[in-house]
């Protein structure tokens, strides 16, 4: 109802619902209710493995609706185009379900210009020469592009075949007649398909589709092929419903393109453009960042200048300013928790198990980390990236690559990777085995996630470790194990009919849409850095229909980059959860708490939980969750706001021991409101 009412006043709405609330049914019903009895046509884009699920739910919610899915008999774009060409006048609701894979991408292109000979004067050799110029194949005029001189005057430069090495805005189409200057490359083999988003933009008239449901809308947040396809469909549809269980990723700029494509006019009014520069500006205004200035060089005797070589680095931080929610989300977003629709679900508990490394593994790891850290000074960002992936994966993968090799014109690195005993079970793996033994002994099936399944393949190692647990029947799932559309059916068959009780896979393979009620225990060996993947995959089992308590266990080695990775993910989950109204202090969120507090806050006693309203968004405190989660708040426990000066006076805190600078800071912030219990 909320989404339908929003569509009466605007052309778009967002449904931000926790995994398992039934967003699919909500989106279908919102379209149907808003149509108010009139026939309508809805296009749905979703991950490929959810196409059949959408068709089932549509038929269950609105039995009289016609449902079309594409790609069963021909290529998806061919079926889609044929269905559009043969579509008659609407006499019943229609739902067209398209996979994200069919939405994006396109055919390989090549330049489509013509050439002509033109005589020009060669001043160097003092003679005339002939040269090839690019000509429009339709109007026949020489193609030109504008340039501006230092005085602001515009002049035009004639284009040659050399200007078509890369497809860009300058050579996209003829300035005179608008003819496209690129065409399909029929001479090349390989990747050939037509993007359904392109068909909608170029062929299908506006108004053919009344509604657009973008499922798993967080997939469209970037400047990617999927994101551009999302924007293309929006341009031809009247009403848009974006649905996701993970609207926020912890950073303000993660919302930028998603919101921009749904309401570009508001962004333009505020001076934002559809580019990375404006996205950075959005992060600066609605998020947090840290600026680092590094200077090189020292002053020398006799030197007349005190200039230094300085390098400025700006790094975004997790979190949102307090005006983000009211300005960009509150009017357009329907927030829904699982507890709103299923208050009696069994509990879901998260654990972070930090494991101490084996002595020999610890020595080899820190030796490798120190060496790579030293090499960053010369090797730069390339070595930093190598260090990140190597140090994250090395403790878990005993049989990794033999060495690291970097060859650059001014730098080279050859670093052998230590080979650990592949027949030994290490401490983190022992922890995994202990959890498996306990959970399988209780009759609880387990789902194990690892982010290393390609070049650094962790799956064989995990299969070997898990198979040593008595009673474990292990199955790995890879991206090429089964087709995307049949993945859900394959997983269900393995867990329910073939007796598999331990499923191992990359989290992205099951992060969206799948109901894995059979696996009541989820174990993360690594998480990666994408919080939406962690949130989505961790909720595969905790949804309507679950009768058993859910356990989610995160395993990492102590004092390693794995632990720091968990802390970063935890801070992102905190920021995203606060923006969406999900307050929790368990698992990775609690692990990501930043216990460092500034000198002003340290003066106040434990019952001061935040300096000001911005800090509620910047740093989530477990104490706040405890207060808000109590069913009955007495007068003594009630939360009230007062200024910092009032709080200091009430606590009778002695400020005499502070430095003048600290006192000045307190005076400057004395009017700030603090949350006081």
- Pair (522, 374) in one structural domain: no
What's the mean pLDDT when you consider all of the chain? Answer: 80
In a domain, 288, yes or no: yes
d(CA 333, CA 258): 13
In a domain, 300, yes or no: no
* Beta strand 154-158 pairing with 608-610: unpaired
**Greater pLDDT, 278 or 598:** 278
Instruction: Answer whether residue 630 shows pLDDT above 60.
Output: no
What is the pLDDT at residue 497? 93
Which of 162, 184, 206 is a domain's end point?
Answer: 184
**Greater pLDDT, 93 or 456:** 93
Cβ contacts of residue 669 below 8 Å, gap of 6+? 600, 611, 612, 644
Which of 155, 184, 213 is a domain's end point?
Answer: 184
pLDDT band at residue 20 under the 50/70/90 scheme: confident
C-alpha angle 199/202/206, rounded to 5°? 95
Closest CA to 627 of 552, 560, 572, 677: 677
* Beta strand 309-320 pairing with 287-296: antiparallel
- How many domains does the structure of the chain reveal? 5
- Pair (178, 229) in one structural domain: no
Q: Residue 322 sits in a domain of what CATH number?
A: 3.40.50.10810
- Pair (615, 580) in one structural domain: no
**Greater pLDDT, 316 or 191:** 316
Q: What percent of the chain has pLDDT over 70?
A: 83
C-alpha Rg value of the chain to the nearest Å? 29
- Pair (532, 621) in one structural domain: no
What is the pLDDT at residue 377? 80
pLDDT band at residue 109 under the 50/70/90 scheme: confident
Sheet holding 94-99, edge to edge: 66-69, 94-99, 41-46, 211-214, 239-244, 12-17, 333-336
Lowest mean pLDDT among 164-173, 402-411, 464-473, 607-616: 607-616
- Pair (99, 113) in one structural domain: no
- Main-chain phi, psi angles of 370, to 5 degrees: -65, -40
The mean pLDDT of 277-293, rounded to a whole number, is 83
The mean pLDDT of 569-582, rounded to a whole number, is 69
C-alpha angle 516/522/526, rounded to 5°? 125
- Pair (444, 566) in one structural domain: yes
Closest CA to 628 of 592, 562, 577, 570: 577
Domain that holds residue 115: 109-184
pLDDT band at residue 189 under the 50/70/90 scheme: low
d(CA 42, CA 263): 20
Mean pLDDT is highest, among 241-250, 363-372, 440-449, 605-614, for 440-449
In a domain, 376, yes or no: yes
Which of 389, 416, 443 is a domain's end point?
Answer: 416
The 10s digit of each residue's pLDDT in 336-377 is: 888 788 778 888 888 888 899 999 999 999 998 888 888 888
d(CA 653, CA 603): 7
In a domain, 621, yes or no: yes
pLDDT band at residue 56 under the 50/70/90 scheme: very high
- Pair (500, 372) in one structural domain: no
In a domain, 421, yes or no: no
CA distances, 416 to each of 143, 394, 651 (Å): 55, 12, 59
What is the pLDDT at residue 48? 84
- Pair (465, 563) in one structural domain: yes
In a domain, 535, yes or no: yes
Q: Residue 500 sits in a domain of what CATH number?
A: 3.40.50.300
- Pair (57, 163) in one structural domain: no
pLDDT band at residue 657 under the 50/70/90 scheme: confident
- Pair (310, 408) in one structural domain: no
d(CA 508, CA 478): 10
- Pair (392, 330) in one structural domain: no
Q: Could you count the other beta carbons within 10 Å of the beta carbon of residue 337?
A: 15
Q: How many helices (H) and strands (E) does the chain have?
A: 25, 26
Chain centre distance of CA 68: 29
Instruction: Answer whether residue 310 shows pLDDT above 70.
Output: no
**Greater pLDDT, 178 or 520:** 520
Q: What global pTM score does this model have?
A: 0.64
- Pair (310, 439) in one structural domain: no
Closest CA to 530 of 211, 135, 251, 323: 251
The 10s digit of each residue's pLDDT in 372-398 is: 888 888 888 788 888 888 888 889 987
In a domain, 144, yes or no: yes
In a domain, 623, yes or no: yes
């Amino acid at each position: 109802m909320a989404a339908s009412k929003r569509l009466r006043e605007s052309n778009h709405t967002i449904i931000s619902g926790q995994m398992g609330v039934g967003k699919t049914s909500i989106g279908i019903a919102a379209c149907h209710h808003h149509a108010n009895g009139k026939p309508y046509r809805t296009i749905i884009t979703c991950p490929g493995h959810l196409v059949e699920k959408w068709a089932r739910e549509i038929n269950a919610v609105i039995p009289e609706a016609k449902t079309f899915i594409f790609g069963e008999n021909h290529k998806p774009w061919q079926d889609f185009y044929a269905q559009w060409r043969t579509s008659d006048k609407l006499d019943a609701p229609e739902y067209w379900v398209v996979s994200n894979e069919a939405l994006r991408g396109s055919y390989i292109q090549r330049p489509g210009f013509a050439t002509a000979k033109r005589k020009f004067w060669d001043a160097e050799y003092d003679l005339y020469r002939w040269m090839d110029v690019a000509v429009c194949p339709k109007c026949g005029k020489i193609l030109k592009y504008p340039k501006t001189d230092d005085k602001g005057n515009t002049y035009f430069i004639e284009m040659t075949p050399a200007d078509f090495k890369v497809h860009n805005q300058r050579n996209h189409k003829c300035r005179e007649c608008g003819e496209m200057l690129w065409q399909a490359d029929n001479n090349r083999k390989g990747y050939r398909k037509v993007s359904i988003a392109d068909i909608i933009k170029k062929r299908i008239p506006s108004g053919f589709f009344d509604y657009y449901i973008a499922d798993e809308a967080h997939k469209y947040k970037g400047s990617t092929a999927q994101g551009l396809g999302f924007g293309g469909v929006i341009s031809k549809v009247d009403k848009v419903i974006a649905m996701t269980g993970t609207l926020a990723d912890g950073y303000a700029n993660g919302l930028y393109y998603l919101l921009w494509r749904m309401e570009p006019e508001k962004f333009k009014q505020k001076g934002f453009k559809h580019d990375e520069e404006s996205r950075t500006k959005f992060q600066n205004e609605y998020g947090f960042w840290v600026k680092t200035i590094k200077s090189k060089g020292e002053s020398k005797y006799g030197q007349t200048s005190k200039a230094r070589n300085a390098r400025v680095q700006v790094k975004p931080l997790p979190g949102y300013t307090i005006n983000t929610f009211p300005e960009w989300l509150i009017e357009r977003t329907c927030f829904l928790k699982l507890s709103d629709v299923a208050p009696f679900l069994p509990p879901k508990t998260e654990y972070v198990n930090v494991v101490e490394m084996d002595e020999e593994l610890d020595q080899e790891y820190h030796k490798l980390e120190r060496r790579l850290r030293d090499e960053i000074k010369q090797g730069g960002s390339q070595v930093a990236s190598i260090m990140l992936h190597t140090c994250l994966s090395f403790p878990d993968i005993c049989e990794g690559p033999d060495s690291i090799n970097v060859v650059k014109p001014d730098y080279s690195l050859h670093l052998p990777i230590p080979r650990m005993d592949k027949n030994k079970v290490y401490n983190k793996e022992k922890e995994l085995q202990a959890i498996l033994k306990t959970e399988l002994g209780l009759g609880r099936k387990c789902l194990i996630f690892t982010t290393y399944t390609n070049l650094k393949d962790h799956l064989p190692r995990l299969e070997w470790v898990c198979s040593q647990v008595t009673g474990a029947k292990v199955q790995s799932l890879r991206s090429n194990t089964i087709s995307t559309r049949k993945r859900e059916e394959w997983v269900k068959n393995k867990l329910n009919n073939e007796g598999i009780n331990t499923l191992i896979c990359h989290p992205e393979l099951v992060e969206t849409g799948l109901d894995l009620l059979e696996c009541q225990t989820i174990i993360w060996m690594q998480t990666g850095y994408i919080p939406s993947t962690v949130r989505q995959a961790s909720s595969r089992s905790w949804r309507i229909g679950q009768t058993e308590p859910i356990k989610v266990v995160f395993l990492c080695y102590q004092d390693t980059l794995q632990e720091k990775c968990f802390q970063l993910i935890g801070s992102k989950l905190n920021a995203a959860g606060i923006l969406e109204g999900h307050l929790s202090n368990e698992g990775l969120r609690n692990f990501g708490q930043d216990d460092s507090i500034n000198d002003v806050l340290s003066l106040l006693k434990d019952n001061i939980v935040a300096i000001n309203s911005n800090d509620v968004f910047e740093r989530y405190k477990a104490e706040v969750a405890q207060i808000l989660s109590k069913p009955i708040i007495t007068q003594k426990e009630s939360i009230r706001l007062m200024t910092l000066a009032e709080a200091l006076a009430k606590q009778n805190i002695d400020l005499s021991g502070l430095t003048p600078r600290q006192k000045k800071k307190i005076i400057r912030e004395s009017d700030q409101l603090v949350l006081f219990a």
